[in-house]
Chains A and B, each alone.
Chain A
Amino acid sequence: MATSMISKNREQAFMSNLTPDWLKTELTTGTTIAAVEFDGGVVIGADSRTTSGAYIANRVTDKLTKITDKIYCCRSGSAADTQAVADVVKYQLNFYQMEMGEEPLVQTAAHTFKELCYDHRDNISAGIIVAGWDKKEGGQVFAVPLGGMVIRQPFAIGGSGSTYLYGYVDSQFKKNMTKEECLPFVANALSLAMNRDGSSGGIIRLAAITKDGVERVNLTGNQLPKFYEDH
């Protein structure tokens, strides 16, 4: 009887105005994510903000998640859903790698994501960009947006902040960019989105994936690219 009284109180506290909103709202990686192919690999990037409603629950989130040594994914949407899906894909590809005796292809990873995102499309909220390097096709970027389609693109943007970037990336993208051109392309795009989107912010996390491995770079504080600022 004592336990049922306690749980009733907790339910009332939950339902009442006493509990703040940020204890009741799902965590989302509001987000801006981007990825671009170059000859020899890919550059991927993300902001670092996780929000619960308007509260910033984590300001140093890592949204670039390793799937295999040479394949990463950029996560946007529900934090829980994307972590769960990425964990399943990581497990499945690890198993695949042990069976086949060689590294999985980026398109295999992308299609594995697609299977999960499409089959559970009504129950999850996950916008994912899969990017990496394999020895068959080199650097590749695949977008797996909300409904669970897969599409290979020379560059991809995603998350709530990406809406502010379509004009920018369409005007600044050039074919056959080098790694050194791709890094500022992604960094500038993320910085612009972080400036306008409330759900994106914090630091810029970048990663360059090539046959030689993964190089990670963080841009913090004053290192963030600056654009028009009133003062």
Chain B
Amino acid sequence: MSILDYNGAAIMAMKGKDCVAIAADRRFGVQAQTVSMDFDKIFEMGPHLYIGLPGLATDVQTVSQRLNFRLKMYELRENRKIKPKTFMSMVSNLLYERRFGPYFVEPVIAGLDPKTFQPFIASMDLIGCPMITDDFVVSGTCSEQMYGMCESLWEPNLEPEDLFETISQALMNAFDRDAVSGWGAVVYIIEKDKVTKRLLKTRMD
């Protein structure tokens, strides 16, 4: 089993009409054993900026803490909120610094521009190669399943309520085919004026 499969995770983000959604499972496990079902893998980095971190749990925590530090320093120096694309480059830099002894996380970023509220989603590999898309991004132990679900369910310009249904179904049906992710799910819908966080009732197996 690879190190990226040790704890297990499933995270995806989707673009909608003037909104983005990011969703993740809530399992924390050690190989086949599930230890807890309330482990958060999505972190708020700004009022309209979220990062999801699947992979080795210790690195999930360390990367989010170190990233938070860098972000706070940026905000102090620049005296403004960071743009999602710039944040993506910040994450990429943090990961590439460890090119030959990497953090075992493959982040997913979702947010709205702080000024124009343009939706933005991106993902990255464990050494920081960024990928910006216009539809959806996935990362985790069931990425193949998630690609299949997103490819079939996603359509452009979904309203926030429809985007919620789409991302929930895509995530749940993907991680129901993965033995090391699932056990609960959380979905964030990020719009210009509000962020809605919902917990999904899922299979607990």
Contact = CB atoms under 8 A, between A and B. Distances in A.
A229 B141 contact: no
Interface string A51-62: 101111001000
Given A54-B5, A54-B141, A231-B184, A195 B34 contact: yes
A56 B32 contact: no
Contacts, number: 62
| Chain B interface residue bracket vs A | 20 to 34
Interface in B100-141: 141
Interface of A: 20, 30, 47, 49, 51, 53-56, 59, 160, 164, 194-202, 229-231
Given A30-B179, A54-B1, 9 more contacts: A47-B205, A54-B5, A55-B178, A196-B33, A197-B32, A198-B29, A199-B32, A202-B205, A229-B204
Interface of B: 1, 5, 8, 29, 31-34, 37-38, 141-142, 144-145, 176-180, 184, 199, 201, 203-205
20 contacts: A30-B179, A49-B179, A51-B179, A54-B1, A54-B141, A54-B142, A55-B142, A55-B179, A56-B176, A56-B179, A160-B32, A198-B29, A198-B32, A198-B33, A199-B179, A201-B203, A201-B205, A202-B205, A230-B37, A231-B184
Contact of A197 (B33, B199, B203): B33
Contacts of B32: 30, 160, 197-199
Contacts of A195: 34, 204-205
Contacts of A164: 33
A118 B37 CA distance: 40
B184 A59 contact: no
Nearest to B204: A195
A56 B177 contact: yes
A24 B144 CA distance: 15
Contact of B8 (A196, A198, A202): A198
A229 B177 CA distance: 21
Nearest to B33: A196
B184 A230 contact: yes
A207 B57 CA distance: 40
B37 to A, nearest CB: 6
> Which of B31, B32, B144, B179 is the most central at the interface, judged by chain A CB atoms within 10 Å of its CB?
B179
Nearest to B38: A230
A54 B144 contact: no
A96 to B, nearest CB: 38
**For the complex of A and B, 5 pairs with smallest distance between CB atoms:** A201-B205, A198-B32, A198-B179, A194-B205, A56-B177
Nearest to B145: A55
A51 B178 CA distance: 9
B179 A54 contact: yes
A194 B179 CA distance: 11
A219 to B, nearest CB: 12
Contact of B1 (A30, A49, A53, A160): A53
A229 B184 CA distance: 10
A222 to B, nearest CB: 10
A231 B32 CA distance: 22
Given A229-B204, A231-B201, A198 B176 contact: no
A188 to B, nearest CB: 14
Contact of A201 (B5, B8, B141, B179): B179
A59 B29 contact: no
A54 B184 contact: no
